[in-house]
A and B are shown apart, each in its own frame.
Chain A
């Protein structure tokens, strides 16, 4: 929606260039064209769009934009077309040409003008040629990219005009590429096409490759040879980038594993509790995020981008407190009998799952990505999605934070003392029961904030925890029980190995190989990657 508004502003500026008198007389003829959009089926709508674009008048752009976004409606009573925006139960109606508010209407009084993918493509390329001269460079880039995708030869003239006026180098580059794409689809002479192939070859990404492969199969002679050459060149460079991409995917998967496992590395690794309810702590963190977002949605929509930051401490507290309650209520009776903690925590995990199912229902809950977590950027020929990147960063931060807490704070010192020699620690005046409870709470709390991150990429459902529990145990054991560095290295190794196997073996076989790899690895190092040394080992 915000996108739409910025474009309104933009068009007001553009429209300001046209003289008011002229605009006035045009508005009437344009209105009949716009109103015609409401009539007929997709094929007719496509023709109407063509007619609108043929006017070449930038004033029609908001209508097209709204049509593409599914915001263009017509009033059932008189067939007049409006941009409708939902406002509570009713819709606010805006005139698509004057952009003035024209009152409101109920849901049943207006009807949406349907568009499908094909129409959206048509609109996208139409808007491309209409907005090439816009004031905002981002809009110009979007316009050029639209023409690039459409490969519409009709856009060449517009592009050339725009190029002549363009001052921003980045925008120029995109426009030139768009022009090259359009040229290759036109019947211009060979020299022009060769130059276009050269431009695309320099562009060097998948989109260029896609176009060039098309050119290679549709042309002949020198153009075909040049395209072929360019395709080979791009393919070679993409192949090299693929390795980097796989490493990234591996690191990204590894960071998810790390997040899932790191809480377990404390409750299981450090405290020795076979914590089957760990996955449910992750789930509780994810549901906390959901609740926070729900509250924000209803009472303070402006805070949505900060929802994750609000959810983090809350998730930590919620999961941590539940963890402490579990420790005080159940686990403290079971120290020294680790296998029985398995039984009890399994019971607890069933109860927590069912509790969440009863409270929030069995279906998936929507946790949105804030803007800064959405989308992707290109690094060379690699695509890096923001949510994955932030999760990697976040996982490393959590790890570092946890290390700091354990190594540099009094609480960490007590924790280590208690887990290494309980009686001695107690003799030194450490209140071991409290340390047990707090350590378990810490582990659970960390699982909770892992849940906040995982809610960004996975289902938020009562089954969320079940999906991660086995992998978490694998990671902790592979890395070596009781060693946080082991968990880090273990998670990253398993992630990268998995991602390198996946393209060759497929997702299922890849995972099987990883499991077999773990089994074999444990034969070689029966106490994991970073084995604990010393007396604690035989205990």
Chain B
């Protein structure tokens, strides 16, 4: 029995030393990296961790920030959503980081939101997401639906003459919301109810036979048909393999995807997929000097010429540079000061323009539509003439069409209702 006691005491001791040992050192600025390195999301997120390490290393080579060196604190939330909250708290409270770059899935972001709010720290979230959110402590450097989905649908409608739509997605909040927005948008453009087919599949779905054949059937109704895919990560490879084998060619039924980038294509033979589309704000094929430099740096850092770059990586690139600039502008890493100074900060993006942080904590981005090439890259076939401002609250959803977000001084509100003139949503 004494042994039990000792064991428990030992455990307690270990816990306290762990907490004690992580006292912050004063001579560095710490940056938290909160990406899953194991579990289901490791496949996408590990790359982002590497990008952050690369960006921090480069910044340090260029003299650091405010005369101090930056130090990355990497933790592994292991694709476990409550663990994201725990690790975020650990980063902020124990490691005392000044900003956190991380999260991929919506649920991981939702999980950490209250932590960032409570402890008043900064999160840079690099992935395209469903919108319907604007939080004081979070900066959304990925695309909102109006920076990805709607331009893509416009392109298909105008350039390809699509009249019938399959909205296929994984059953979670990003596809649900995006499809809700698209459905409302398509209907506003006069597309009939029976010309829209919506289909949801579970995470990691691997048997696509039935759905691909449904798509084929739906597509044989005498009207030009396209698939808008919000299928998530892992399920894409078997989906595209089935598509290719079933002989669905991009010339007949193009698939435009919002979650398929260079990284996902790296696991595929893209020969049969040439011409299928993706909408992003960045492609590795972007023909600019900044991008060539970024790709070279990435290859040198990772030591592998074959590794690709993708949109969320660019989002981290932009987000990190914005944070650096905002900190320099504010002269401190204090979150409140940075939140004030970052709005309006504009940094070069990799597609040859500048991206600016807007008052709603979303950024301006160009929208590119690319076609898959047989070398696993995208060829930009269309792009918006200017930059698109990320819209936190969609104009096509009943609950959010009256909401705006502005975190600058007098308003300082993430969900201001323009009809009632009050902060706090559509309610009282």
A–B contact at 8 Å CB threshold (below): yes
Interfacial residues, chain A to chain B (CB-CB below 8 A): 42, 70, 112, 114, 116-118, 120-121, 124, 149, 206-207, 209-217, 245-246, 249, 252-253, 256, 353-354, 357, 361-366, 368-369, 374-376, 383, 385-388, 456-463, 466-467, 498-499, 502-503, 506-508, 511
With the chains together, A118 CA to B156 CA distance in Å? Answer: 10
Q: Can you list 13 pairs linking A and B with CB atoms under 8 Å apart?
A: A117-B251, A214-B222, A363-B263, A364-B43, A365-B266, A374-B245, A374-B272, A386-B245, A457-B241, A499-B209, A502-B210, A507-B211, A508-B201
Q: Which residues of A contact B46 (CB under 8 A)?
A: 361-363
Give, as a whole number of angstroms, the nearest-CB distance from B235 to chain A: 9
Interface pair B160/A118, CB less than 8 Å apart? yes
Interface pair A117/B250, CB less than 8 Å apart? yes
Interface pair B242/A457, CB less than 8 Å apart? yes
Interface pair B42/A457, CB less than 8 Å apart? no
Q: Which residues of B contact A120 (CB under 8 A)?
A: 250-251, 275
In the complex with contacts A357-B38, A507-B210, A149-B252 CB distance below 8 A? yes
When the two chains form the complex, which single residue of B47, B214, B222 contacts A210, counting CB atoms closer than 8 Å? Answer: B222
A interface footprint on B187-203 (CB within 8 Å = 1, 0 otherwise):
00000000000011110
When the two chains form the complex, which single residue of B209, B251, B277 contacts A388, counting CB atoms closer than 8 Å? Answer: B209
Interface pair A213/B267, CB less than 8 Å apart? no
Q: Which residues of B contact A209 (CB under 8 A)?
A: 220
Q: Which residues of B contact A457 (CB under 8 A)?
A: 206, 238, 241-242
When the two chains form the complex, which single residue of B214, B247, B269, B277 contacts A369, counting CB atoms closer than 8 Å? Answer: B269
Give, as a whole number of angstroms, the nearest-CB distance from B332 to chain A: 36
Q: Which residues of A contact B199 (CB under 8 A)?
A: 506
With the chains together, A507 CA to B205 CA distance in Å? Answer: 8
Name which residue of chain A comes closest to B225, CB basis.
A210
Give, as a whole number of angstroms, the nearest-CB distance from A12 to chain B: 25
Q: Which residues of B contact A376 (CB under 8 A)?
A: 245-247
Interface pair B202/A508, CB less than 8 Å apart? yes
Interface pair B381/A114, CB less than 8 Å apart? yes
In the complex with contacts A116-B371, A376-B247, A385-B245, A249-B220 CB distance below 8 A? no
With the chains together, A388 CA to B208 CA distance in Å? Answer: 11
Please give 5 more A-B residue pairs, beta carbons under 8 A apart, in addition to A362-B43, A376-B245, A507-B200.
A70-B374, A118-B159, A249-B209, A386-B245, A463-B43
Overall SS of chain A's interface: helix
Is B237 positioned at the interface, with any CB of A under 8 Å from its CB? yes
Name which residue of chain A comes closest to B275, CB basis.
A117
With the chains together, A361 CA to B247 CA distance in Å? Answer: 31
Number of A-B contacts (CB under 8 A): 161
Q: Which residues of A contact B7 (CB under 8 A)?
A: none
Q: Which residues of A contact B210 (CB under 8 A)?
A: 246, 249, 499, 502-503, 507
Give, as a whole number of angstroms, the nearest-CB distance from B403 to chain A: 31
Name which residue of chain A comes closest to B161, CB basis.
A118
Q: Which residues of A contact B160 (CB under 8 A)?
A: 117-118
Give, as a whole number of angstroms, the nearest-CB distance from A115 to chain B: 8
Q: Which residues of A contact B220 (CB under 8 A)?
A: 206-207, 209-210, 213
Give, as a whole number of angstroms, the nearest-CB distance from B58 to chain A: 22
Interface pair A206/B217, CB less than 8 Å apart? yes
With the chains together, A71 CA to B38 CA distance in Å? Answer: 40
Interface pair A116/B159, CB less than 8 Å apart? yes
Interface pair B43/A461, CB less than 8 Å apart? yes
Interface pair B202/A357, CB less than 8 Å apart? no
Interface pair A214/B207, CB less than 8 Å apart? no
Which among B210, B234, B275, B381 has the highest number of chain A CB atoms within 10 Å? Answer: B210
Give, as a whole number of angstroms, the nearest-CB distance from A451 to chain B: 14
Interface pair A210/B219, CB less than 8 Å apart? yes
Is B171 positioned at the interface, with any CB of A under 8 Å from its CB? yes
Interface pair B245/A206, CB less than 8 Å apart? no
**Residues B244-275 near A (CB distance < 8 A):** 244-247, 250-252, 254, 263-264, 266-269, 272, 274-275
Is B311 positioned at the interface, with any CB of A under 8 Å from its CB? no
Is B100 positioned at the interface, with any CB of A under 8 Å from its CB? no
A interface footprint on B31-67 (CB within 8 Å = 1, 0 otherwise):
0000001111011101100000000000000000000
With the chains together, A334 CA to B41 CA distance in Å? Answer: 33
Q: Which residues of B contact A118 (CB under 8 A)?
A: 159-160
Q: Which residues of B contact A116 (CB under 8 A)?
A: 159, 275, 371, 381-382
Interface pair A357/B42, CB less than 8 Å apart? yes
Give, as a whole number of angstroms, the nearest-CB distance from B277 to chain A: 8
With the chains together, A499 CA to B223 CA distance in Å? Answer: 28
Q: Which residues of B contact A385 (CB under 8 A)?
A: 242, 245-246
Give, as a whole number of angstroms, the nearest-CB distance from B222 to chain A: 3
With the chains together, A366 CA to B245 CA distance in Å? Answer: 16
Is B133 positioned at the interface, with any CB of A under 8 Å from its CB? no
Give, as a whole number of angstroms, the nearest-CB distance from A5 to chain B: 15
Is B109 positioned at the interface, with any CB of A under 8 Å from its CB? no
Name which residue of chain A comes closest to B226, CB basis.
A117
Q: Which residues of A contact B207 (CB under 8 A)?
A: 249, 253, 256, 498
Give, as a whole number of angstroms, the nearest-CB distance from A79 to chain B: 18
Give, as a whole number of angstroms, the nearest-CB distance from B273 to chain A: 12
With the chains together, A511 CA to B207 CA distance in Å? Answer: 11
Interface pair A114/B222, CB less than 8 Å apart? no
With the chains together, A507 CA to B220 CA distance in Å? Answer: 22
Give, as a whole number of angstroms, the nearest-CB distance from A109 to chain B: 14
Name which residue of chain B comes closest to A467, CB basis.
B204
Interface pair A362/B37, CB less than 8 Å apart? yes
**Residues B222-239 near A (CB distance < 8 A):** 222-223, 234, 237-238
With the chains together, A460 CA to B269 CA distance in Å? Answer: 12
Q: Which residues of B contact A245 (CB under 8 A)?
A: 213
With the chains together, A31 CA to B292 CA distance in Å? Answer: 34
Q: Which residues of A contact B371 (CB under 8 A)?
A: 116-117
With the chains together, A498 CA to B201 CA distance in Å? Answer: 14
Interface pair A213/B221, CB less than 8 Å apart? yes
Name which residue of chain A comes closest to B220, CB basis.
A210
When the two chains form the complex, which single residue of A112, A256, A357, A459 contacts B237, counting CB atoms closer than 8 Å? Answer: A459
Is B299 positioned at the interface, with any CB of A under 8 Å from its CB? no
Interface pair B266/A363, CB less than 8 Å apart? yes
With the chains together, A342 CA to B223 CA distance in Å? Answer: 54
With the chains together, A465 CA to B42 CA distance in Å? Answer: 15
Give, as a whole number of angstroms, the nearest-CB distance from B292 to chain A: 10
Q: Which residues of B contact A112 (CB under 8 A)?
A: 379
Is B69 positioned at the interface, with any CB of A under 8 Å from its CB? no
With the chains together, A211 CA to B222 CA distance in Å? Answer: 5
When the two chains form the complex, which single residue of A117, A253, A456, A461 contacts B267, counting CB atoms closer than 8 Å? Answer: A461
Q: Which residues of A contact B200 (CB under 8 A)?
A: 506-508
Interface pair A253/B263, CB less than 8 Å apart? no
With the chains together, A95 CA to B264 CA distance in Å? Answer: 35
In the complex with contacts A245-B213, A383-B213, A459-B234, A374-B244 CB distance below 8 A? yes
Name which residue of chain B comes closest to A353, CB basis.
B38
With the chains together, A496 CA to B146 CA distance in Å? Answer: 41
Interface pair A363/B269, CB less than 8 Å apart? no
Name which residue of chain B comes closest to A373, CB basis.
B245
With the chains together, A498 CA to B206 CA distance in Å? Answer: 13
When the two chains form the complex, which single residue of A249, A366, A502 contacts B266, counting CB atoms closer than 8 Å? Answer: A366
Interface pair A458/B237, CB less than 8 Å apart? yes
